[in-house]
Amino acid sequence: MLRLLAPAKVNLVLRVLGKRPDGYHELETLFERIDLADELTFSPQPSGLTLTCDNSSLSCGEDNLILKAARLLQNTFHMHQGASIHLMKRIPIAAGLGGGSSDAATALMGLSQIWNLRVPAERLVALAAQLGSDVPFFLLPQPFAIGTGRGERLEPLPEPHPTLWHVVVTPKVTLSTPEVYAGFDAQKSAERSRMGLTAAGGSITITTHALRNGPDMSGLAKGLGNDLEPEAIRRCPVIHDIRILLRKGGCIATSTSGSGPSVFGLCHDAAAAHAAASSIRTHGKPEWFVAVTKTNHAII
């Protein structure tokens, strides 16, 4: 049996540059892998694929990206051996934290290992991109990367990789990524920035520079931003309230991850992150998911 962690991500920066003829959006994003993680266990079996999960609200059918990853590997490499996979879900679902994408990437790695497939790294990345725009990021050994194209073309940031501390807050609502992108397209640009607390989109240049310099926390605070945030707030106004509470709790900057509804606050250190999390637990809604997280330097 093989046990692997499937970590979450946040988008420190997410800029939508335009809509493409294939319906996707051209992005410029800065991913950070964090240490909030699902856990997957893989056991080989003679044939067939079985997926179980400790969270009954998640489908374990063919629509689950883990099974899609498994079928893609089986079809690509004519693999007749099967596997039973168990998922322990810790990352909030459909929350902008990349949980499903990370599970898919981890399934590609875990199954290649137990089936002894010896897939070259570039081949695995190409398969990952077929499963979803965010999936290739979770195959990288580096914790920070700039994503362009759909988000699948990656440029990892070179060392040194600082450790950032955050509080991640997810309200109990789900947002559909295609719907948030469609809403983004429908809004006029003036309306887009009206509801944001910071300049929409943020800046990859300012943020990567700040990561290289210490990190320079005030540079990071200036650089964070997400073009999808105004649309996410329009559909889920509580995101705005969470951002304000995180600032009151001592976070130096906040932003929405992916298409939301998860919000993260950036903190100076572990103590500040724990203090902000405890403030959110006191002043926020009891059903919100609240976690102190930090940069995840190595996939375990």
Residue count at the site for ligand C5P (CB under 6 A)? 11
Shortest Å, Cβ 91 to ligand C5P: 15
**Catalytic residue status for 134:** yes
- Contact by Cβ (8 Å): 277, 248: no
Note whether 25 binds ligand C5P by CB under 6 A. Answer: yes
Q: Is the CB of residue 2 less than 8 Å from the CB of residue 42?
A: yes
- Of 85-93, 131-139, 167-175, 245-253, the segment contacting ligand C5P by CB under 6 A is 131-139
Q: CB of 64 within 8 A of CB of 51? A: yes
From the candidates 38, 134, 227, 294, give the one annotated as an active-site residue: 134
* 151: contact with ligand C5P by CB under 6 A: yes
Which uninterrupted H or E stretch holds 154?
strand 153-156
Q: Which of residues 222-261 bind ligand C5P (CB under 6 A)?
A: none
For residues 106 and 5, is the Cβ–Cβ distance under 8 A? yes
**63 is a catalytic site residue:** no
CB of 25 to ligand C5P, least distance (A): 4
Residue 117 has a CB neighbour count (10 Å cut-off) of: 16
Torsion of CA 65, 69, 72, 74, to 10 degrees: -130
Residue from 177, 187, 193, 278 that binds ligand C5P (CB under 6 A)?
177
- Is the Cβ–Cβ distance between 293 and 168 less than 8 Å? yes
Q: Which two tokens stand for residue 110?
A: 């875990």
Contact between 181 and ligand C5P (CB under 6 A)?
yes
Strands, E assignment, 46-118: 49-53, 82-88
Q: Does residue 178 interact with ligand C5P by CB under 6 A?
A: yes
Is the CB of 159 or the CB of 179 nearer to ligand C5P? 179
To ligand C5P, the closest distance from the beta carbon of 130 in angstroms equals: 10
Q: Which residues bind ligand C5P (CB under 6 A)?
A: 24-25, 27, 132-134, 150-151, 177-178, 181
Active site residues: 9, 134
